[in-house]
Amino acid sequence: MMLPASSAATAQDTALMTPRTTPASKSHRPWHLLSDYCTCLCFVYRTNGQCFAIIEEDENGDVILSSGCMKYEGSHFQCKVRNFAQTRRTIECCQFDFCNRDLKPELPPRDTEPPDPHWLAFLISVTVCFCTLICVTVICYYRYKWQTERQRYHRDLEQNEAFIPAGESLKDLINLSQTSGSGSGLPLLVQRTIAKQIQTVRLIGKGRYGEVWLGRWRGEKVAVKVFFTREEASWFRETEIYQTVLMRHENILGFIAADINGTGASTQLYLITDYHENGSLYDYLKFTTLDSQALLKLTYSAACGLCHLHTEIYGTQGKPAIAHRDLKSKNILIKKNGTCCIADLGLAVKFNSDTNEVDIPLSTRMGTRRYMAPEVLDETLNKNHFQAYIMADIYSYGLVIWEMARRCVTGGIHWQIFFVFHLGIFLAIAKKTLYVCCMYSNSCISAKYCPIPYINGKLIYSAFR
């Protein structure tokens, strides 16, 4: 049946405005390979709109190609859109009859494309090479710096050799400083030279302040006390006390030198003294028994050293009175001749008779609680009265005599530290304070602690009064 002309025209216009799409199975091929791609051609003069060609990707990832005609309303706006948020789609438009057959839109590139493996390998290689170059540069720099400091160190040693002639011993240098110097020890330049030339051999002790090493200087044995950095105040104080004029005494540990050794990353505080292989009195009493003569020799020599500390020497180059404040068996060393010498002066206080003032160190260290006097334990000590510090030292010295007397074989009593029987080895400060203060107020000492007749009533009793 033949349709009217107007109806035929309307049907033809509808067909021209309906887009046609290519099969999805063939849409992945390039435009010039899509032989069955058919454009829906349109007559612009009929629609007064635009011809279009569109390519898009559906939810399954298939590419769909389509073309057709758009009406005038909204055609200009739709043809201007280039990016679509939800799907990959590209549309191209033209305004001439049958012009959409020449349009070939392309899909936009994906937002996240997988990286090229070759480019990733190149990037990793460059990063590794750069890090390796930095590490090698840093190592070479520090090695060069270390070699430079080492050469300077040896050069300084060679220059400093002129200050200490070859063949000079420590005893010769010390005697020379006593006769021709100020009496305060070796010159600072000589001290620094000795400190740089000392070689540490092995560790012989360790405490709360630092470590003690056996060292050698030109074949002579010395003790090297290395302070922790946080104990700089103790190192400075002990060095200051040792360098006091007229401080040297046979019953006080011989001071040799003090120096600060900086290695760049850390700082070591050196205090170099005489070396005594018998060690401290505490260790000596563990393995050695005493007879009456040895006991008297130890107590007398320790008393001489303590007396020299407490005594003020008047004169142009005088010596101030000094109180130890940490006297105990671990701070008393045993010499080869069986006598004592007092060591560890990091907590010592000095008395200036001209101004009547007590020079108290800034160190936060405290003495050993077991050896503290009752007035120190209950904090009733008059810190502005120097005689109170001397009395506290005498109390501690009496407890040291107690230790030595218990090691004497005449009484047949086994050696032990005082208060061990009553309080144990590790005692609390509150418990010890209560016990010591009560015992001090009663002033009673058992006769079994005084087995030697001529010590009974002379040394121990006087030490506790």
**Secondary structure string (H, E, C) spanning 257-297:** EEEEEECCCCEEEEEEEECCCCCEHHHHHHHCCECHHHHHH
Task: State the helix-helix crossing angle for 188-197 and 117-160, rounded to 10 degrees.
Answer: 130
Q: Are 371 and 399 in contact (CB under 8 A)?
A: yes
- The amino acid at residue 53 is A
Known binding site for ATP: residues? Answer: 225
- What span, in angstroms and rounded, lies between the C-alpha atoms of 380 and 393? 15
Q: How many CA atoms lie within 13 A of 196 on its CB side?
A: 20
Mark whether 326 is an active-site residue: yes
Total Cβ atoms within 10 A of residue 240: 16
Known binding site: residues? Answer: 225
Of 274, 326, 344, 393, the catalytic one is: 326
Provide the 8-state DSSP code for 313.
B
- What span, in angstroms and rounded, lies between the C-alpha atoms of 22 and 25? 9
Total Cβ atoms within 10 A of residue 345: 26
State the first-to-last Cα distance of the chain, in angstroms, to the nearest integer.
Answer: 145
* DSSP-assigned letters across all residues of 344-386: --TT-EEEETTTTEEE---------GGG--HHHHTT---TT-H
Assigned token pair, 279: 């060690």
The burial of 339, by beta-carbon neighbours within 10 Å (0-12 exposed, 13-18 middle, 19 or more buried), is given as: middle
Q: Are 201 and 212 in contact (CB under 8 A)?
A: no
Catalytic residues: 326
